[in-house]
Structure formats: C-alpha cells, structure tokens
Amino acid sequence: MTEPVSTKPYLLRALYEWCVDNGYTPYLSVVVDAATRVPAEYVRNGEIVLNIGPLATNRLKMGNEFIEFAARFGGVARDIVVPVGAVAAIYARENGHGMSFEVEKGESAWDASAAPLAAVPAEASAEREPPPRGGKPTLRRVK
C-alpha cells in the first residue's frame, strides 16, 4: 500500500481560499532552500514572506509539490517556485489568523555548506511586505 499524500498542500489551498473569500491578503512564510526560487535580495535570515493574493500574483498554481506564480518585485516581473515542504505558515496579513507547519529539511541555500547565494535563481520573485506588527506572524487557530 502506498503512503497517502500529505495534507499540507490541501490545507494551504483551503486557507488561501478562506483568506480570499473573507477579503484578507494571504501571506506565505517560506524557509528558503536550494529548491526555492525567490529573489535573493528579499530573503532575510533564510526566510521570505510572500504576498500570494490575487492582486499580487499572476498564474498562481498551488499544486501538491510546488506553489508557482509570477509577481512583481520592485516593478520587475519574476517567476516564483516554492516547494510545499518549505512553507512554514500561511496567514491573513490583516489579522494574523492562519496556520503554521513543520518545514521539511532540505539543503539550505543559506547554510555555509550549501551552494553560494548566487545559486538561487534571480528570476523568481513576489513583493515582500513585512509580517504584521513587525516580527514573525502571530498565528491563531482558524475556526
């Protein structure tokens, strides 16, 4: 018998839909690793926060393995690819409601033992806005 598919991509899609249906802006907190294609200049401490709302993205595809879309960073359109396993949280910018996840350990592009910073393709991107109230998002259980 094969192992069932993870529930994580299904929960990400459900919370994205909940945010959009309620007029909230869905944000993803992502731990950047070697398989993550995001603009390196927006990565802080190995993490990036991405606005994945309908007004900020183009061609958003939330699959079981990857989240892919195009977005503008500093006015420049870029393609973003985020492995589902690298997503640490999805939450509404306006109130911080959402869900956090365990991040799958991958080869980090930010570790000294990993590939140099230039190895992360620059053609990926989405506008970075800071999490609500400064630091990391506060997450609450969604009912």
Distance CA 98, CA 139 (A): 6
125's tokens: 């991107």
Res 20: pLDDT: 97
Tell me if 35 is assigned to some domain: yes
Distance between first and last Cα of the chain: 34
Q: Which SS3 state, helix, strand or coil, does residue 14 take?
A: helix
Tell me if 132 is assigned to some domain: no
Res 140: pLDDT: 54
**With 50 as the cut, is the pLDDT of residue 123 above it?**
no
**With 50 as the cut, is the pLDDT of residue 119 above it?**
no
Question: Strand 57-62's sheet: what is its strand order?
Answer: 57-62, 66-73, 76-83
Q: Which SS3 state, helix, strand or coil, does residue 20 take?
A: helix
Res 61: pLDDT: 97
* 82-117 pLDDT tens trace: 999 999 999 999 999 999 999 987 655 444 333 333
Q: What's 112's domain CATH number?
A: 2.30.30.220
Residue 82, C-beta contacts closer than 8 angstroms, at least 6 positions apart: 28, 30, 36, 37, 38, 50, 66, 67, 68
Q: Which SS3 state, helix, strand or coil, does residue 94 take?
A: coil
30's tokens: 């992502």
Q: Are 37 and 79 within 8 A, CB to CB? A: yes
What percent of the chain is predicted at pLDDT more than 90?
Answer: 69
Domain of residue 66 covers: 8-119
Tell me if 42 is assigned to some domain: yes
Tell me if 91 is assigned to some domain: yes
Task: Please state the pTM of the whole predicted model.
Answer: 0.73
Tell me if 74 is assigned to some domain: yes
Res 22: pLDDT: 97
State the total domains in the chain: 1
Tell me if 142 is assigned to some domain: no
Tell me if 3 is assigned to some domain: no
Res 3: pLDDT: 85
Distance CA 110, CA 121 (A): 13
Tell me if 113 is assigned to some domain: yes
Res 1: pLDDT: 72
